[in-house]
A and B are shown apart, each in its own frame.
Chain A
Amino acid sequence: MISLAGRDILHAWGKFVFTGIGLGLLIGVTLTMAGVYRGMVDDGKVLLDNSGADLWVVQKDTLGPYAESSSVPDDLWRSIRAMPGVAQAANVTYLTMQVGRGDEDVRAMVVGVAAGGPGVPGWPPQLVAGRQITRGHYEAVADAAAGVRLGDVLKIRRNRYTVVGLTRRMVSSAGDPMVFIPLKDAQEAQFLKDNDAILMQRRRTEANPAFNRPAVPDLLDAVIASQTSNSHVNAVLVRLRPGFAPQEVADPIRLWLRLTVYDRAQMEGILVGKLIATSARQIGMFLVILALVSAAIVAFLIYTLTMDKIREIAVLKLIGTRNRTIASMILQQALVLGLIGFVVGKITATFAAPLFPKYVLLVPFDTAMGLLAVMAICVLSSVVAIRVALRVDPAQAIG
Chain B
Amino acid sequence: MKVPHLQRRTLALVAAIVPLAALFVYVVLRSGPLAPVAVTLDTVRSRAVAPALSGIGTVQVRYIYKIGPTAAGRVRRLDVHVGDMVRASQVLGEMDPVDLDERMRAQQAAIKSAEAGLRQAEARQSYAQSQARRYEQLVSVRATSEENLATRQQELAVADAALAAAREDARRLRSELQALRAQRGNLRLVAPVAGLVAARDADPGTTVVAGQAVIRLMDPASLWVDARFDQISAQGLAAGLPAEVVLRSRHGQPLAARVLRTEPLADAVTEELLAKVVFDALPRPLPPIGELAEVTVRLPPLPEAPTITNAALRTVGGQRGVWKFRDGQLAFAPLRLGRADLDGQVQVQEGLAVGDAVVVYSEGTLGPKSRVHVVERIAGVSP
Contact = CB atoms under 8 A, between A and B. Distances in A.
Interface of A: 9-10, 13, 17, 49, 52, 75, 87-88, 115-119, 125-132, 134-138, 144, 149-150, 164-166, 168-169, 184, 214-215, 217, 231, 239, 241-242, 340, 343-344, 346-347, 350-351, 353, 362-364, 367
Given A118-B320, A165-B311, A10 B365 contact: no
**Max count, chain A CB within 10 A of own CB: residue among B23, B310, B360:** B310
A121 B310 CA distance: 15
B365 A49 contact: yes
A47 B183 CA distance: 71
Contacts of A135: 54, 342
Contacts of B314: 118-119, 125-126
Contact of B20 (A125, A129, A131, A343): A343
A132 to B, nearest CB: 5
Given A13-B13, A128-B381, A214-B207, A118 B54 contact: no
Contacts of A49: 365
A126 B311 CA distance: 7
29 contacts: A10-B13, A13-B12, A13-B13, A17-B13, A17-B17, A49-B365, A117-B233, A119-B313, A125-B314, A126-B361, A127-B360, A129-B361, A129-B381, A130-B311, A132-B310, A134-B310, A134-B341, A136-B229, A137-B54, A149-B382, A150-B382, A168-B378, A184-B270, A215-B209, A217-B209, A231-B269, A346-B24, A362-B31, A367-B32
Contacts of B294: 137-138
Nearest to A217: B212
A340 B341 CA distance: 57
B380 interface: yes
A129 B230 CA distance: 26
Interface of B: 6, 9-10, 12-13, 16-17, 20-21, 23-24, 27-28, 31-34, 54-56, 207-209, 212-213, 229-230, 232-233, 269-270, 294, 309-311, 313-315, 317-318, 320, 340-344, 360-366, 377-378, 380-383
A128 B10 contact: no
A377 B315 CA distance: 47
A119 B315 contact: yes
A364 B229 CA distance: 50
Contacts of B17: 17
Contacts of A214: 207, 209
Contacts of B313: 117-119, 132
Contacts of A362: 31-32
Given A119-B320, A129-B361, A165-B311, A346 B28 contact: yes
Contacts, number: 142
Contact of B233 (A115, A132, A169): A115
B24 A347 contact: yes
B193 to A, nearest CB: 23
B31 A350 contact: yes
Contacts of A241: 318
B27 A350 contact: yes
B383 A129 contact: yes
B233 A136 contact: yes
Contacts of A215: 209
A340 B342 CA distance: 56
Nearest to B313: A118
A184 B231 CA distance: 13
Contact of A347 (B20, B229, B344): B20
Nearest to A182: B230
Given A214-B209, A215-B209, A217-B209, A52 B232 contact: no
Contacts of B380: 144
A10 B9 contact: yes
Contacts of A115: 230, 232-233
Contact of B232 (A116, A344, A347): A116
In the A-B complex, the 3 residue pairs with the smallest Cβ-Cβ separation, listed nearest first, are A131-B344, A135-B54, A128-B378
A184 B269 CA distance: 12
Nearest to B51: A134
A217 B66 CA distance: 13
A231 B229 CA distance: 17
A241 B318 CA distance: 8
Given A115-B230, A150-B383, A165-B311, 20 more contacts: A10-B9, A13-B16, A17-B13, A88-B318, A116-B232, A118-B313, A126-B314, A126-B366, A128-B362, A128-B381, A134-B343, A135-B54, A137-B294, A166-B381, A169-B363, A217-B208, A231-B269, A242-B317, A343-B24, A353-B31
A136 B55 contact: yes
Contacts of A353: 31
A136 B270 CA distance: 13
B158 to A, nearest CB: 53
Contact of A131 (B34, B207, B343, B381): B343
Contacts of B364: 126, 168-169
B78 to A, nearest CB: 17
Contacts of B16: 13, 17
A346 B340 CA distance: 47
